[in-house]
């Protein structure tokens, strides 16, 4: 079941999304990426679990090349955690849920 709490974000609205006081986890992905599809349900489950505490968004790197370039993203999926517009931490690859929970907890 897809979560309606995970929103798509673009280069145009990226700064306004991560600039919030609420921590924001950004999933950089592409539709053709197998590992991205594998981690998708985990990201959606976390959006439900952390609803109201963390904003979780997805950015399609094919449609939005500027932002991934700005953060030096060379492999996907890459998930970057931001707080008040500043990068807190990041992970690359189809990591497990426990690793993503650890990542999120750093910003809470």
Report, as residue numbers or ranges, the catalytic residues: 33, 36
Residue 50, both tokens: 């952390």
User: For residues 45, 37, 7 and 102, what is the CA-based torsion angle, rounded to 10 degrees?
Assistant: 50
Tokens 């280069």 belong to residue: 11
DSSP string of 37-100, one letter each residue: HHHHHHHHHHHHHTTTT-EEEEEETTT--HHHHHTT--SSSEEEEEETTEEEEEEESS--HHHH
């Amino acid at each position: 079941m897809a979560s309606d709490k995970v929103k798509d974000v673009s280069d145009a609205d990226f700064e306004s999304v991560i600039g919030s006081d609420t921590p924001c986890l950004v999933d950089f992905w592409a539709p053709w990426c197998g590992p991205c599809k594998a981690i998708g349900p985990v990201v959606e489950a976390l959006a439900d679990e952390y609803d109201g505490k963390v904003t979780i968004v997805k950015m399609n790197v094919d449609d939005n090349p500027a932002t991934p370039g700005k953060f030096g993203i060379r492999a996907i999926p890459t998930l970057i955690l931001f707080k008040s517009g500043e990068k807190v931490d990041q992970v690359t690859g189809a990591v497990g849920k426990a690793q993503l929970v650890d990542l999120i907890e750093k910003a809470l």
